[in-house]
A and B are shown apart, each in its own frame.
With several copies, the nearest count.
Chain A
Amino acid sequence: MYSEKVLEHFMNPRNVGEIENADGVAQVGNPKCGDVMKMYLKIENGVIVDVKFKTLGCGAAIATSSIATEMIKGKTIEEALKITNKAVTEALDGLPPNKLHCSVLAEEAIKAAIEDYLNKQKNK
């Protein structure tokens, strides 16, 4: 059911962990299945210089978290905001139909973490 790429990212997830004093942090939950993803961003001059995640969820949830962090690392905020769950799914060589919703979690986590960063900036 899962592509080789999904399994590879699931087994060796990149960027797992936390960032202390992260510039942006957000935790999102998947109402459909109860899975939870937390994303930490370190941002310098509008560029995501470091990113970490923690995920409680299925293989697809972990794999999409992992590849999403890879995709945004080194990108500007604007670029990162453009990453859709479709792009994440494609980067993983696809997901089974009943697992497409899992990739939404990754998109949401990125957006929410950036929003958190922007809010913090405003309130500085």
Chain B
Amino acid sequence: MKEKIIYFDHAATTPIKKEVLEEMIPYLTEQYGNPSTIYKLGREAKKAIELARERVAKALNADIEEIYFTSGGTESDNWALKGTALANRDKGRHIITTTIEHHAVLNPLKYLEKIGFEVTYVPVEPNGIVDPNKIKEAIREDTILISVMLANNEIGTIQPIKEIAKIAKEREIIIHTDAVQAVGQIPINVKDLGIDLLSLSAHKFYGPKGVGALYIRKGTRIHPFLQGGAQERNKRAGTENVAGIVGLGKAIEIANKNLNEYASKLQKLRDKLIDGVLSKIDYVRLNGDRYQRLPNNANFSFEFVEGESLLLLLDTKGIAASSGSACTSGSLEPSHVLLAIGLEPEVAHGSLRITLGEDNTEEDIDYLLEVLPEIVSKLREMSPLYES
């Protein structure tokens, strides 16, 4: 058993970068002013927030006034969807999304269905990518909103948002993208993508948990979601999480600067991992497109293995990873994403998601390739369904 933890779950969350925490610390200590106040202590906090806003805007090629801070990806998604649906319900009540969105998109949409909206869930192709033509076909007279994620959190597939945004714009439909998994992994340019709304969450790119942002293109009709004080130009109330926002700003700045280097390093490790697993283990498949995926994501399904057991055994070897198994989720349903790409529930059950980060090394991959086959064998030997 190794002492050190090998962390392979960067899609779940990432550690805060040292430089990020360093910029946060003053706002957790002496710079405690409330940014809405008028005296120096408050003005300093306000300035820090505005610098963070500038950094986010720069990273996304947005205008500064188009960035609003939130409590994370979930709030950004809730706000984007409920805020635009309700503000545009005079125009129509139809919304289009895909079958592989995060629950932070699917559950608000389910709620909107309950209160009178209609949602079309466009299926994805077996490679985990949605066909823009199918989005186009789903459009109706009364479609007001399309929400498609930029990159999937389980299988890492990158969606053709630019094409979808173009289709949306031709019909004057609002287009939102959940970029929570994409920020810091692939270049993002909101103007080039042509989108109206984009959600992001700091803890996915080496920033703190509990802070995110929503990009809202100027002119987009949207209601506030958190109502109260006049913060965020009356669009998002609540005393600002100053330290968190400062951390988000610094983290996105660093992520954007290192993007190419980071991505090519991780992609190399990822490919080594994928090749290694596929060649060393039987009855295994790679989930999601082999190439059009995030540089840090690999997702496998092993037959005759259950994901939670796999994770627990990896944990005993000092490896932290994730699974779409029903047994790891409170809901007892296997991952809706794996089912959406056509996996049988039993197979979805035996899935393993490895998501790499900047501290991972070739040796980490070697170690995983050493212990994983043993663990899979051990579990298969215990399985009543497996015949070796």
Any A–B CB pair closer than 8 Å: yes
The verdict on B178 contacting chain A, using a C-beta distance below 8 Å, is no
* Centre residue among B309, B313, B384, B386 by max chain A CB count within 10 A: B384
**With contacts A56-B382, A56-B385 known, is A34 near B312, CB below 8 A?**
no
Complex CA gap A56/B385 in Å reads: 8
Report whether B316 and A11 are in contact in the complex, using a CB–CB cutoff of 8 Å. yes
The verdict on B326 contacting chain A, using a C-beta distance below 8 Å, is yes
Q: Which residue of B lies closest to A39 (CB)?
A: B384
Complex CA gap A38/B383 in Å reads: 9
Which of A1, A37, A98 meets B384, CB within 8 Å?
Answer: A37
Complex CA gap A1/B384 in Å reads: 26
Query: What is the interface residue range for chain B against chain A?
Result: 20 to 34
The verdict on B115 contacting chain A, using a C-beta distance below 8 Å, is no
Report whether A33 and B327 are in contact in the complex, using a CB–CB cutoff of 8 Å. yes
How does the 8 Å CB contact mask read for B312-334 relative to A, with 1 for contact and 0 for none? 11001000000001111010101
Complex CA gap A32/B381 in Å reads: 23
> Given the complex, which residues of B lie within 8 Å of A58, measured CB to CB?
306, 308-309, 325, 327-328
Complex CA gap A54/B305 in Å reads: 12
Which residues of A36-84 are within 8 A (CB) of B? 36-38, 54-62
How does the 8 Å CB contact mask read for A97-108 relative to B, with 1 for contact and 0 for none? 010011000000
* Centre residue among A11, A36, A37 by max chain B CB count within 10 A: A36
Report whether B332 and A10 are in contact in the complex, using a CB–CB cutoff of 8 Å. no
Which of B305, B326, B383 meets A33, CB within 8 Å?
Answer: B326
Complex CA gap A33/B313 in Å reads: 20
The verdict on A13 contacting chain B, using a C-beta distance below 8 Å, is yes
Q: Tell me the smallest distance from the CB of B166 to a CB of chain A, in Å.
A: 34
Which of A7, A32, A54, A60 meets B383, CB within 8 Å?
Answer: A54
The verdict on B10 contacting chain A, using a C-beta distance below 8 Å, is no
Complex CA gap A62/B325 in Å reads: 15
Query: What is the interface residue range for chain A against chain B?
Result: 20 to 34
Complex CA gap A12/B207 in Å reads: 39
> Given the complex, which residues of B lie within 8 Å of A54, measured CB to CB?
382-384
The verdict on A22 contacting chain B, using a C-beta distance below 8 Å, is no
> Given the complex, which residues of A lie within 8 Å of B327, measured CB to CB?
33, 35, 57-61, 102
Which of A16, A34, A60 meets B346, CB within 8 Å?
Answer: A34
> Given the complex, which residues of B lie within 8 Å of A34, measured CB to CB?
326, 334, 345-346, 349
Report whether B309 and A62 are in contact in the complex, using a CB–CB cutoff of 8 Å. yes
> Given the complex, which residues of A lie within 8 Å of B385, measured CB to CB?
36, 56
The verdict on B55 contacting chain A, using a C-beta distance below 8 Å, is no
Q: Which residue of B lies closest to A54 (CB)?
A: B384
Complex CA gap A38/B386 in Å reads: 12
Complex CA gap A41/B384 in Å reads: 15
Report whether A7 and B306 are in contact in the complex, using a CB–CB cutoff of 8 Å. no
Q: Which residue of A lies closest to B47 (CB)?
A: A1
Report whether B382 and A55 are in contact in the complex, using a CB–CB cutoff of 8 Å. yes
> Given the complex, which residues of A lie within 8 Å of B309, measured CB to CB?
10, 57-59, 62
* Known pairs A56-B386, A58-B308 / 15 extra A-B pairs, C-beta < 8 Å: A11-B313, A11-B316, A13-B382, A16-B381, A32-B332, A33-B326, A34-B334, A56-B379, A56-B382, A56-B383, A58-B306, A58-B327, A59-B309, A61-B327, A62-B309
Of all A-B residue pairs in the complex, the 6 with the closest CB atoms, nearest first, are A58-B327, A38-B384, A54-B384, A56-B383, A58-B308, A33-B326
Q: List 20 A-B contacts (CB under 8 A).
A: A1-B43, A11-B312, A11-B313, A27-B384, A33-B332, A34-B345, A34-B349, A35-B327, A36-B385, A54-B384, A55-B384, A56-B304, A56-B306, A56-B385, A56-B386, A58-B306, A60-B327, A62-B382, A101-B332, A102-B327
